[in-house]
Amino acid sequence: MDRTALTAAFRAKLHASGKEPMYYGLLLCNLLMLIAFPFCANAFWKQWFSSPLSFLSVPNPGAPISTSGEICITMRGVMWLSELKNLQSRPALVYHHLGSIVVLLSAVHLDITGLIYLPLATLVSEVLSTFAWVIALHNEMDLRFPGNQRWALLKKNLQVANIWIYAPSRFSCILVTGYLTYRLVEARKDIWSRSARYAVLTWVFTIMIIWGAWIVSYLKDKSRKLKKAGEQCGSVKMVGVAGGTERLLKS
């Protein structure tokens, strides 16, 4: 089969599997995450580094939402909403997305959007995980070499890279966000009452605890899948060795 025929056959098989919406949805999600990253990073920089040493002295929490911040928040919110329709079979992700949307709305309502730019920027660490899922689907739909070891090895390498990038970026983000929360509340002590400051601290740190638990659960799931992928790669190698040995004995 030539490339055109293979592409047409792949699309037909993908459509028949019912996974076509999620496949293209994840590819679009990855593209939007890559586009949103510089806007989120720029919004974070403007919010907390607008003056020399502002990160270590007086932050700029009262600044209006910048254009980069608006783009960052809007793109992430739209992405979460658009993904919901493809996640009916994964309730945990539905709850995650709905909770994330609530966090976005609460940050805007409480005027603490400066705390969410860094977490939104580090979401780019999930790109490799999404590509690993896409690779797994290609492995499943490979018409020429079903179960090709090439796909399995590529998926495994992406999963390893994802864990090494995701874990440090997300856990360090929690620590930095905790510090920024303290700095923001301190900067607004003349504006907010004591009860308001405690309410914001309680809300933010509750979210951070839930977020940390989600990250741990995510890493456990990815580690389990990585172990399974390693076993599959090993079984493919053993099948190849066994087949070669059998051919040698027959000769």
List pLDDT tens digits, range 17-52: 777 777 887 888 888 889 999 999 998 888 887 654
Give the model's confidence band at 247: pLDDT under 50 very low, under 70 low, under 90 confident, else very high. very low
pLDDT score recorded for residue 216 = 93
Q: What is the pTM for the complete model shown? A: 0.79
Place of tokens 């990855």: 30
Place of tokens 């020429």: 144
Portion of the chain with pLDDT greater than 90, in percent? 27
Whole-angstrom Cα distance, residue 162 to residue 233?
18
Whole-angstrom Cα distance, residue 237 to residue 243?
10
pLDDT for residue 208 is more than 90 = yes
pLDDT score recorded for residue 143 = 55
- What is the pLDDT of the chain when averaged over all its residues? 79
Of 159, 158, 160, 153, nearest in space to 139 by CA: 153
| Mean pLDDT to the nearest integer, 62-90 | 82
Residue-wise pLDDT for 77-99, tens only, equals: 988 888 887 777 778 888 888 99
pLDDT score recorded for residue 21 = 76
Of 29, 25, 175, 152, nearest in space to 86 by CA: 25
Q: At 104, list the tokens.
A: 């976005």
The 3-class SS string of the chain reads: CCHHHHHHHHHHHHHHHCCHHHHHHHHHHHHHHHHHHHHHHHHHHHHHCCCCCCCCCCCCCCCCCCHHHHHHHHHHHHHHHHHHCCCCCCHHHHHHHHHHHHHHHHHHHHCCHHHCHHHHHHHHHHHHHHHHHHHHHHHHHCCCCCCCHHHHHHHHHHHHHHHHHHHHHHHHHHHHHHHHHHHHHHHCCCCCCHHHHHHHHHHHHHHHHHHHHHHHHHHHHHHHHHHHHHHHHHHHHHHHHHHHHHHHHHC
pLDDT score recorded for residue 235 = 55
Rg (C-alpha) for the chain, rounded Å, is: 23
Give the model's confidence band at 232: pLDDT under 50 very low, under 70 low, under 90 confident, else very high. low
Of 33, 215, 200, nearest in space to 113 by CA: 200
Residue-wise pLDDT for 138-157, tens only, equals: 777 665 555 567 777 887 88
Give the model's confidence band at 233: pLDDT under 50 very low, under 70 low, under 90 confident, else very high. low
Residue-wise pLDDT for 145-202, tens only, equals: 555 677 778 878 888 888 899 999 999 999 999 988 888 888 788 888 889 889 989 9
Q: At 71, list the tokens.
A: 């783009």
pLDDT score recorded for residue 101 = 92
